Amino acid sequence: MTQPKENQVELANMAGIIERLAGELALGEEPARFIAALEGLPEDEGGDEVEAPRDE
Amino acid sequence: MSEESLAGLAESIRARRISPVEAVERCLARIRKWDGRLHAFIRLDEEGALEAARALEADAAAGRWRGPFHGVPLGFKDLCHLHGLPTSCGTRMPEYFVSAQECSAARRLLDAGAISLGKLNMTELAMGAYGDNAHHGDVDNPWLAGHAAGGSSSGSAAGVAAGFFAGAIGSDTGGSIRLPAGCCGVVGIKPTYGRVSRAGAMVLSWSMDHLGPLAWTARDAALMLKVMAGSDPADATASRRAVPDYAAGLEGGVAGVRIGLPENYFFEGVDEEIGAGVRQAGRQLEGLGARVSEIRVPDPRAMTDVAMLITRAEASTIHARVFRERPQDLQPVVRARLQVGFGISAYDYLQALRLRAKLTRAFVREVFAEVDVLLTPVIPESPPALAALKTATVDEFNTRAGRFSRLTRPFNGLGLPAISVPCGFTAAGLPLGFQAVGRPFDESLLLRLGHTYQEAAGWHHRRPLVD
């Protein structure tokens, strides 16, 4: 779907925010860990290992 | 206990001081008198309500009590599917929103003896913070005519405030229970993600949607939540945790409860009257024994952005058919928001979901190591005049709506329970409110805090639209 110019700006802004924040994600991070955080499940897997930059 | 509260009305019906038919007729009288202005209903089911009331009256006479809400009139946001009534989701295309699955949360209340008065007004597709609706009428604020009631559960909040029903179901994807509760001076609680089944309710964003009660008091909300919450085979995301008896713990007070007033984000750019009202509520809670301190919280902007992106992508996916087949029948502001969602890449959406997990873990760990509850404003500005909203362009409107929900949306992303409680009035006579946020599944503490505050402050003794 072709997006109007103002939407293209908004989409680019959103993509920029995600790109900046995602640089700090651990390799083991996955969406299901959201539920684990709420349910108080142990935080063992995933660790704090940070992903390598995508272009390496 | 006053019959104006759900708890008091239920008690009076049980004591046979008032019959279910009388309770419904009282509500209908107020609806006839005031709903021409408020537009709280999309579909008032007068006949259905009276028929149910007569059956419940016969049951009561025979000593058959269906449950704690026997004969209590309630309203349901018009995204809750109920057999026998169409569901518009705030659009003028109910034919697009047909479901064999009834809303589990609503069904549980009806099975507990409640009476449905009908389906309540809302912003179109639950996408909007103000309660305006070009198809079904803008919901007016019961406290000050011509002002927004808040959205998207606008009819739910305005109807509770106006005494049209004793409680209502709302849904909350970015603040849609708490914003109208704050605007209309009623209690609204968005429970923890998964605490209440969403089965049988329109999906806006399956990752962010929550159902919850709106009521006049925290006690009433506690009674409703107890019945609405719990596991449900029809909703895989509904938690299997046991549901506490929320009302049983209400009298425990707040002595020793650690309350944090955020130093960053939540008071920035907020109307002076609103910020002062919340801080005053904090001082009152301190006077009741709570330990109040300032706290710096992980920057909620990241979660706000992440939650917004996820919501837009999911909303466009869910409502693609109506967008493509009937775009001309959607309001321009809704159409514009849906269109953006189609442009979000799978990469950004999936990264946002991964970020949500990380940000939630960090927020829960850091904040709740220091405090038990966060206390913030619900809305950053007083409910605006409806006329002023009408003059805005689509972009201006959506930008302003985004700002209006910036204090509530982070907690949809975080999935944390959050309650909106009235705490006074502006000089213009519009309600002030605070938002209290707790640990996952700690709705009990939020309801206890709300109840303790209401009993001490007494704001709930003032009502709008007094006959």
**pLDDT tens figures, B109-168:** 999 999 999 999 999 999 999 999 999 999 999 999 999 999 999 999 999 999 999 999
CA B459, B453, B194, B300 dihedral sign is positive
Tell me the CB-side half-sphere exposure of residue B295, using CA atoms within 13 A. 21
Cβ pair A31:B345 closer than 8 A: no
Parts of chain B with a pLDDT under 70: 1
Q: How confident is the model at residue A46 (pLDDT cuts 50, 70, 90)?
A: very low
Give the distance from residue B96's alpha carbon to the nearest chain A alpha carbon, in angstroms: 22
Secondary structure (DSSP) of A33-50: HHHHHHHT----TT-SPB
The CATH number covering residue B316 comes to 3.90.1300.10
| Three-state secondary structure call for residue B62 | coil
pLDDT in tens, B318-359: 999 999 999 999 999 999 999 999 999 999 999 999 999 999
* Of the candidates B433, B419, B300, the residue with the CA atom closest to the CA atom of residue B367: B300
User: What is the per-residue pLDDT for B467?
Assistant: 72
* Of the candidates B212, B200, B204, B231, the residue with the CA atom closest to the CA atom of residue B83: B200
Compute CA B265 distance to the chain's CA centroid, rounded to the nearest angstrom: 22
Q: Which chain A positions have a beta carbon within 8 Å of B356's beta carbon?
A: 31, 34
Helices B154-162 and B20-38: crossing angle in degrees, nearest 10, is 120
For residue B441, give its domain range: 6-461
User: What is the per-residue pLDDT for A43?
Assistant: 65
B77 tagged catalytic: yes
Give, rounded to a whole angstrom, the gap between the first and last alpha carbons of chain A: 32
Give the distance from residue A34's alpha carbon to the nearest chain B alpha carbon, in angstroms: 4
Please tell me the distance from the alpha carbon of residue B388 to that of residue B402, in angstroms, as a whole number.
16
Q: Decide if B73 contacts B37 (C-beta within 8 A).
A: no
Which of B194, B302, B306 lies nearest to residue A38, judging by beta carbons?
A: B194
Q: Which chain A positions have a beta carbon within 8 Å of B355's beta carbon?
A: 18, 21-22, 25
* Of the candidates B423, B387, B379, B173, the residue with the CA atom closest to the CA atom of residue B281: B423
Q: How confident is the model at residue A56 (pLDDT cuts 50, 70, 90)?
A: very low
Picking from A1, A13, A14, A48 by the largest number of B CB atoms within 10 A of its own CB, the best residue to mutate is A14
Q: Decide if B189 contacts B418 (C-beta within 8 A).
A: yes
User: What is the per-residue pLDDT for A47?
Assistant: 47
Picking from A38, A44, A54 by the largest number of B CB atoms within 10 A of its own CB, the best residue to mutate is A38
Q: Is the peptide bond before B152 cis (omega within 30 degrees of 0)?
A: yes
Residue B86: what residue type? Answer: P
Name the catalytic one among B5, B12, B19, B77: B77
Give, rounded to a whole angstrom, the gap between the first and last alpha carbons of chain B: 20
Cβ pair B358:A1 closer than 8 A: no
Q: What percentage of residues in chain B have a pLDDT greater than 70? A: 100
Structural domains in chain B (count): 1
User: What is the per-residue pLDDT for A5?
Assistant: 86
pLDDT surpasses 50 at A45 = no
User: What is the per-residue pLDDT for A3?
Assistant: 85
pLDDT surpasses 80 at A55 = no
Query: Residue B8 to residues B23, B68, B364, B442, B444: CA-CA distances in angstroms?
Result: 12, 12, 36, 25, 20
Asked whether residue B133 is assigned to any structural domain, the reply reads yes
Q: Decide if B348 contacts A13 (C-beta within 8 A).
A: no
Q: Which chain A positions have a beta carbon within 8 Å of B307's beta carbon?
A: none
Lateral strand order in the sheet of B373-377? B41-44, B115-120, B73-77, B167-172, B210-215, B187-190, B418-425, B431-438, B373-377, B258-262, B291-295
Asked whether residue B466 is assigned to any structural domain, the reply reads no
Burial class (CB in 10 A: 0-12, 13-18, 19+), B95: exposed
Give the distance from residue A13's alpha carbon to the nearest chain B alpha carbon, in angstroms: 10
Please tell me the distance from the alpha carbon of residue B73 to that of residue B9, in angstroms, as a whole number.
9
Q: Which chain A positions have a beta carbon within 8 Å of B415's beta carbon?
A: 34, 37-38
Which of B340, B356, B415 lies nearest to residue A11, judging by beta carbons?
A: B340
| Three-state secondary structure call for residue B418 | strand
Longest dimension (CA), chain B: 62
Q: Decide if B245 contacts B214 (C-beta within 8 A).
A: no
pTM tops 0.90: yes
Q: Is B325 on the interface with A (CB under 8 A)?
A: no
B2 tagged catalytic: no
User: What is the per-residue pLDDT for B1?
Assistant: 65
B390 tagged catalytic: no
**List of E strands, B207-262:** 210-215, 258-262
